[in-house]
Amino acid sequence: MFPTGVLINIMAVAGGGLLGAAAGHKLSGQFKTELTGIFGICAMTMGINAIVLMENMPAVIFSVIVGTALGLVVHLGELINKAAVVIQKVISHLSKTDKGETNTENPTLLVTVIVLFCASGTGIYGCIDSGMTGNHTILLSKSIMDFFSALIFACQLGPAVSVVAVLQMIVFLILFFFAGMIYPMTSPTMINDFKACGSVLLLATGFRMLNLKSFPIADMIPVMALVMPCSWLWTNFIMPYLQ
């Protein structure tokens, strides 16, 4: 299976970053703020579209709660941010000009960009879904948002945003091919519950982007690893005793 969605998403980030670095200064602050709100609505729309596929609601709810709790206990979000800080230092070094100046004057913002493009719930869900089913819809939709997000971030960070696309390519390709390996061990019911669970992360992402509720998206990532085993256990060992 070819990683079409992954490659398009990478090109969207790289292209948006380059365009933003070249011409992003012409965009108004209001344009950037309002467009971010639209991103949130789009993320929630993708979530609502997929949540209707849910077949085993108890398994999905259990996965969301336990997976998030696990992420919070091990401080997964903090670990991801610490890794992003290390990567930020490397990117800042690579982005230095001939005069020794750096284009990344706001290192905290660059860390946010790394996490957003490489470790977001939407990206991880989209890569796994694409690798297992060949459906690139989530990644293609994400690519549209990422292009404009990269453009806006590059207004402040310069071409360093495009460098993040290299790291994103590594992470997303690993997820894509890993998903393709486990797909033969899944069932249609497990896939539908996985998509429904991923939609919960999309909804949480939308709420966060709209500044309505700051859900711990990075800490929710283990949810995606739990949902299919939980769906399988519910279907084969719990449901038969409830009928």
Question: Can you give the pLDDT at residue 10?
Answer: 96
Do 5 and 175 meet the contact criterion of CB atoms below 8 Å apart? no
Contacts (Cβ under 8 Å, ≥6 apart) of 91:
104, 110, 114, 160, 163, 164
Q: Which two tokens stand for residue 39?
A: 């991103």
Do 115 and 84 meet the contact criterion of CB atoms below 8 Å apart? yes
The tens digit of pLDDT for each residue in 103-126 reads 444 566 777 788 889 877 789 989
Neighbours of 135 (CB within 10 A): 15
**Which residue in this structure is represented by tokens 């596929």?**
53
**What SS3 string covers 212-225?**
CCCCCCHHHCCHHH
Question: Can you give the pLDDT at residue 94?
Answer: 66
Do 194 and 231 meet the contact criterion of CB atoms below 8 Å apart? yes
Q: Quote the Cα angle for 37-48-124, to 5°.
A: 75
Rounded CA gap, 74 and 76, in Å? 5
Question: Can you give the pLDDT at residue 104?
Answer: 46
Question: Can you give the pLDDT at residue 96?
Answer: 58
The tens digit of pLDDT for each residue in 190-219 reads 999 999 999 999 899 889 888 899 899 889
Q: Which of 112, 96, 116 is nearest to 104 (CA)?
A: 96
Question: Can you give the pLDDT at residue 32?
Answer: 75
Question: Can you give the pLDDT at residue 86?
Answer: 84
Rounded CA gap, 167 and 88, in Å? 11
Single pTM value for the model: 0.84
Mean pLDDT of the chain, nearest integer: 87
Which parts of the chain register pLDDT below 50? Answer: 97-105
Rounded CA gap, 104 and 85, in Å? 13
Question: Can you give the pLDDT at residue 143?
Answer: 95
Rounded CA gap, 52 and 40, in Å? 19
Question: Can you give the pLDDT at residue 101?
Answer: 46
- Positive or negative, the CA dihedral 228, 229, 235, 238 is negative
Question: Can you give the pLDDT at residue 182?
Answer: 92
Question: Can you give the pLDDT at residue 100?
Answer: 46
Q: Which of 91, 142, 147 is nearest to 121 (CA)?
A: 142
Q: Which two tokens stand for residue 32?
A: 């950037």
Cα 146 from chain centroid (whole Å): 10
